[in-house]
Amino acid sequence: MDLMGMMGKLKETQQKIEDTKKRLDTVLIDEQSADGLLKVTLTANRKVTAISIDDSLLEDKEQLEDYLIVTLNKAIEKATSVNEKELDAVAKMDMPMIPGMDNLFK
């Protein structure tokens, strides 16, 4: 592949990655505590969009904090996994194999 062709392909891939990032803002990840008393929703870009807290958790600040930490971390892990899989798929599908550039989009 000629240099101009590779540069064009790189620019096209960068645009597809940006489009994928925008689409991931619409992909929602729901997570809840084991007992369902706390629920969170994040986008696949790891932005919190909703938190639902059962009234019983409002009586114990430390318990609520623990619930938030555990549940948010689980949701962030799921969102990160979806995000990375989607972006990796776009980058690998469209990028020409250029030695040393395999970590460019991470």
Least confident span in 41-45, 47-51, 94-98: 94-98
Residue 44 lies in a domain: yes
- Domain assignment present for residue 1? The answer is no
Q: How many domains does the chain have?
A: 1
Task: Report the C-alpha gap between 53 and 32 in whole angstroms.
Answer: 10
**Helical packing angle, 61-94 and 3-24, nearest 10°:** 150
Average pLDDT of every residue of the chain = 87
In terms of pTM, does the model score above 0.85? Answer: no
Q: What does 67-79 look like in DSSP terms, one character per residue?
A: HHHHHHHHHHHHH
pLDDT tens-digit map of 72-88: 999 999 999 999 998 88
Q: Which two tokens stand for residue 27?
A: 């992909």
CATH number, domain of 81, equals 3.30.1310.10
Check residue 100 and give its pLDDT. Answer: 57
In a domain, 7, yes or no: no
Amino acid at 62: E
Asked if residue 101 belongs to a domain, the reply is no
Position 15 in a domain: no
Residue 97 has pLDDT above 70, yes or no: no
How much is the pLDDT for 83? 92
Report which of residues 106 and 17 the model is more confident about. Answer: 17
Residue 67, domain extent: 25-94
